């Protein structure tokens, strides 16, 4: 049996969320007695693709087509469907992301495959093939039974721990038969956020709310984020006030994140914001109001002035 993994590439390397997808696929393959094949699209160095073996893939099918350098869910789905048929894959694994969800949905329709998005655990194979997923913005979980010959799973970030090994995957050129309609939509421009670390991929996020008092007071938060190698985020009122860019808005109507560590600075903890961060492994809340609702959801809480605490945390991180 074969498990196929769709790889997302960023800056010439396999994204961390796709490394997790490979590790998840390897664990599934171990359960069903199969191997892991990965699919990579666009012009990527084969040496980088061979590193997929460090996370559990034995082979990488590489479609080295320059038209695939920019995200295109139509063409990506076509490539994935043909790769499924080439590898005779029974299980397809992707990272849950904007492009991952789009490709998974289009591929499922073409393959008549069952699909689960937001998987949080490995499948339960007793009496079938059941996958646990997050629903209602992380407030509950559902167990879904997949009964189709091909099963597609979009894995939530941090659903599995990645243990890097010393393996090397074989990189095999793979030709895909595209049609003109696969490219009827195209990316005309890409606007990058100011941070080098995207919120969806970040292991650590430092986020601020109205307790930061204004955009001119944001530097202590940015200093802590830089010391930690973290991404920066904000609550909805902050982005609405244009204190911070809208792409940093975390919450039910913004970006939903699941880092290993989420540090909330001056955020009261409205339910809409909590819905965007409740997938975090550890939440630290800093707020001078001891009655702030966010403390009820926190693993650790610090009651105090963010402008006194943040510089002290930054010095501690730097070892000063």
Both 125 and 234 in one domain: the answer is no
Q: What is the CATH number of the domain that holds 40?
A: 3.40.50.620
Residue 193 lies in a domain: no
Residue 199 lies in a domain: no
Cβ-contact 119, 159 below 8 angstroms:
yes
Q: How far is CA 289 from CA 2, 6, 198, 285, in A?
A: 54, 45, 30, 11
What are the respective helix, strand and coil percentages of the chain, to the nearest 5? 35, 25, 40
Q: What is the pLDDT of residues 29-41, one digit of tens each?
A: 999 999 999 999 9
Which pLDDT does position 94 carry in this prediction?
A: 97
Q: What is the pLDDT of residues 289-314, one digit of tens each?
A: 999 999 999 999 999 999 999 999 99
Other beta carbons less than 10 A from residue 124's beta carbon: 14
Q: What is the CATH number of the domain that holds 298?
A: 3.40.50.1220
Residue 197 lies in a domain: no
Structural domain of 254: 204-318
Both 236 and 163 in one domain: the answer is no
Both 135 and 228 in one domain: the answer is no
Both 217 and 170 in one domain: the answer is no
Both 147 and 223 in one domain: the answer is no
Which pLDDT does position 11 carry in this prediction?
A: 87
Q: What is the pTM of this model?
A: 0.84
Residue 190 lies in a domain: no
Q: What is the pLDDT of residues 141-200, one digit of tens each?
A: 999 999 999 999 999 988 888 888 888 999 999 999 999 999 998 777 766 655 567 888
Both 178 and 48 in one domain: the answer is yes
- Residue ending a domain, among 183, 218, 249, is 183
Residue 310 lies in a domain: yes
* DSSP E strand boundaries for 194-239: 204-208, 231-234
Residue 61 lies in a domain: yes
Percent of the chain with pLDDT over 90: 83
Both 173 and 239 in one domain: the answer is no
- Residue ending a domain, among 131, 153, 183, is 183
Which pLDDT does position 191 carry in this prediction?
A: 64
Both 69 and 134 in one domain: the answer is yes
Both 290 and 213 in one domain: the answer is yes
Q: Cα(282)–Cα(284) distance, rounded to whole angstroms?
A: 7
Chain Cα centroid distance, residue 62:
22
In terms of DSSP bridges, do strands 130-135 and 140-145 run parallel, antiparallel, or are they unpaired?
antiparallel
Which pLDDT does position 310 carry in this prediction?
A: 97
Length of the chain: 320
Give the residues across from 214 on adjacent strands: none
- Which band of pLDDT confidence, cut at 50, 70 and 90, is reported for residue 249? very high
Both 282 and 159 in one domain: the answer is no
Residue 291 lies in a domain: yes
Residue 196 lies in a domain: no
- Give the chain's domain count: 2
């Amino acid at each position: 049996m074969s498990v196929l993994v769709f790889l997302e590439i960023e800056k010439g390397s396999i994204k961390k969320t796709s490394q997790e997808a490979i590790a998840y696929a390897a664990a599934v393959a171990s359960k069903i007695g199969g191997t892991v094949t990965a699919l990579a699209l666009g012009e990527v160095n084969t040496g980088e693709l061979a590193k997929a073996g460090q996370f559990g893939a034995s082979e990488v099918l590489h479609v080295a087509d320059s038209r695939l350098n920019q995200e295109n869910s139509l063409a990506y789905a076509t490539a994935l469907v043909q790769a499924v048929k080439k590898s005779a894959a029974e299980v397809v694994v992707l990272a849950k992301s904007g492009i991952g969800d789009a490709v998974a949905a289009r591929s499922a329709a073409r393959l008549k495959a069952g699909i689960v998005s937001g998987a949080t655990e490995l499948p339960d194979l007793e009496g079938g093939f059941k996958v646990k997923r997050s629903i209602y913005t992380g407030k509950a979980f559902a167990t879904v039974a997949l009964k189709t010959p091909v099963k597609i799973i979009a894995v939530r970030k941090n659903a599995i721990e990645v243990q890097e090994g010393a393996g090397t995957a074989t990189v095999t050129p793979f030709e895909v038969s595209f049609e003109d309609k696969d490219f009827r939509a195209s990316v005309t421009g890409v606007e990058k956020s100011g941070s080098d670390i995207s919120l969806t991929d970040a292991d650590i996020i430092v986020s601020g709310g109205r307790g930061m008092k204004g955009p001119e007071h944001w530097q202590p938060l940015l200093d802590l984020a830089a010391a930690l190698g973290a991404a920066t985020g904000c609550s909805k009122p902050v982005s609405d006030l244009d204190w911070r860019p809208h792409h940093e808005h975390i919450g039910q109507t913004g970006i939903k994140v699941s880092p290993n560590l989420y540090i909330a600075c001056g955020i009261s903890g409205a339910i809409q914001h909590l819905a965007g961060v409740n997938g975090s492994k550890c939440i630290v809340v800093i707020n001078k109001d001891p009655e702030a609702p966010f403390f009820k959801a926190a693993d650790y809480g610090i009651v105090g002035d963010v402008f006194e605490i943040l510089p002290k945390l930054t010095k501690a991180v730097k070892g000063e």
